Amino acid sequence: MTQTWPDAHGRFGAFGGRFVPETLIPALDELAFAFAQAWRDEKFRAELDDLRRNYAGRATPLYFARRLSAELGGARVYLKREDLCHTGAHKINNVLGQALLARRMGKPRVIAETGAGQHGVATATACALMGLRCEVYMGAEDVRRQHLNVVRMRLLGARVHAVEAGSRTLKDAMNEAIRDWVTNVHDTYYCIGSAAGPHPYPFIVRELQKIIGEEIRAQSLAIEGRLPDAVLACVGGGSNAIGACYAFLEDRGVRLIGVEAAGDGISTGRHGASLAKGKPGVLHGSMSYVLQTSDGQIAEAYSISAGLDYPGVGPELSYLKEMGRLELASATDDDAVAAFSRLAKTEGILAALESAHAVAHALKLAPTLSSDRLVVVNLSGRGDKDVETLATRLLSESA
């Protein structure tokens, strides 16, 4: 397989492209040019590398979950500890690169959309670090269920706009961020958090997140002397999944498994499984799998985890699904909560509810594999932000 995508039009096969108002096209051209230049610039790369190492805390460990593996009685389960990154999730990898780029492009104002709030917190953090103004759009429903992250963003000096439109979640936050960008494009950098949106964002975010998989690859070789048999990641928009999987695309022996949010159940219609249940369409600037009605209206996604509560997915994952390179799985709210609990009690790790979806699938997969098999779960974020949600759920269960 040759990894020559995206092409000059930002296409991953039939997916990707640029479906945005004309006003933004010149800005996207400018961004693509600036990123290509920066990515070739050794000084830019060195500065990013230093920040990754000394500010974000990379490389993150590839941790052998000994007790969990023993309990499951199958494959050896490793956790890629992105939850140990500064700000508590993989989102910082992307944002450090984009904030450096914003500064390099001379844009004093940075906007972002956020679902779970992790990307918002990461953006607020990088903006504070680099002296940039930061405004974050967040669905009002997410503001409620991820209140802790709202407070964190404000403490970091960011302005948080609660978006009341539509389902009041990530989709609506992204609509509003795009509207802001159309209006303020002359001085504003739009820092997209997922490997989604119009070209070049899916490319930029993949390039900035692929370090996760590169580290997994090197660490697996160092620890086990071989590559993993499977890499698991949860899929919302897909930045942690493409980040974890990209380094393995040509390693045909490594199964790449994307775990989507099945919400109340994949057959209930209340879920966030865009790859499994969506159809190709256009949302937020690119062609990709989209949950939609037969009339082409965007459907509302649902998941207990705000980061997976999104009716779209990035174009590269759409392409990898279509090519059969990405296997699909899903986990319900209940599966994710159970996996969260089990990981907490066996390994002393509180995973983000998003990442708990990937853990949930590992709980099913590992026992079916022999003990010489290696399964890596990308633990994309930590669960502190979800404690309120879980507390409410536990209270209602015990009532």
Binding track, positions 22-61, relative to other proteins; x by CB under 8 A: xxxxxx----------------------------------
Q: Which stretch binds other proteins (CB under 8 A): 177-185, 209-217, 243-251, 336-344?
A: 177-185
For other proteins, the binding residue among 294, 370, 396, 398 (CB under 8 A) is: 294
As measured in angstroms, the least distance from the Cβ of 107 to other proteins is 14
Q: Is 298 near other proteins (CB under 8 A)?
A: yes
Q: Which is nearer to other proteins, 18 or 321 (CB)?
A: 18
Class of residue 317 by CB neighbours under 10 A (exposed 0-12, middle 13-18, buried 19+): buried
Among 69, 80, 91, 321, which one carries the catalytic annotation?
Answer: 91
Do 144 and 115 form a contact (C-beta atoms < 8 A)?
Answer: no
Choose between 53 and 179: whose C-beta lies nearer to other proteins: 179
- Identify the CA nearest to 90 among candidates 98, 100, 82: 82
Q: Provide DSSP, 88-141.
A: GBTHHHHHHHHHHHHHHTT--EEEEEESSSHHHHHHHHHHHHHT-EEEEEEEHH
- Residue 20 binds to other proteins (criterion: CB under 8 A): yes
Q: How far is CA 387 from the centre of its chain?
A: 20
113: annotated active-site residue: yes
| Interface of this chain with other proteins, residues 267 to 286, rule: CB under 8 A | 279, 281-285
Choice between 30 and 250, CB closer to other proteins: 30
Cβ 14 to other proteins shortest distance, Å: 11
Q: Are 338 and 360 in contact (CB under 8 A)?
A: yes
Q: Which of 82, 107, 113, 305 is catalytic?
A: 113
CB of 6 to other proteins, least distance (A): 13
Q: Tell me if 14 contacts other proteins by CB under 8 A.
A: no
Residue indicated by tokens 């459907």: 299
Out of 6, 18, 326, 361, name the contact with other proteins by CB under 8 A. Answer: 18
d(CA 330, CA 346): 22
Q: Which two tokens stand for residue 120?
A: 């918002």
Task: Give the residue, chosen from 6, 17, 88, 197, that forms a contact with other proteins under the rule CB under 8 A.
Answer: 17
Cβ contact 62:227 at 8 Å = no
Distance CA 8, CA 56 (A): 32
Shortest Å, Cβ 22 to other proteins:
4
Write down the least CB distance from residue 171 to other proteins, Å. Answer: 7
Alpha-carbon distance of 254 to 353, in angstroms, equals 25
Q: Which helix (H) or strand (E) holds 279?
A: strand 279-283
Q: Which two tokens stand for residue 210?
A: 């692929």
Instruction: Please give the radius of gyration of the chain, using alpha carbons only, rounded to the nearest integer.
Output: 19
- Which of residues 86, 171, 361, 385 is near other proteins by CB under 8 A? 171
Q: How far is the CB of 294 from other proteins (least distance, A)?
A: 7
* 279 is annotated as an active-site residue: no
| CA dist., res. 104 & res. 91, Å (int) | 20
Q: Which helix (H) or strand (E) holds 334?
A: helix 333-347
Active site (annotated) includes residue 380? yes
Catalytic residue among 194, 286, 288, 380: 380
Q: Annotated active-site positions, please?
A: 91, 113, 380
For binding to other proteins (CB under 8 A), which residues are involved?
Answer: 9, 17-27, 165-166, 171-172, 175, 178-179, 182-186, 279, 281-285, 290, 292, 294-298
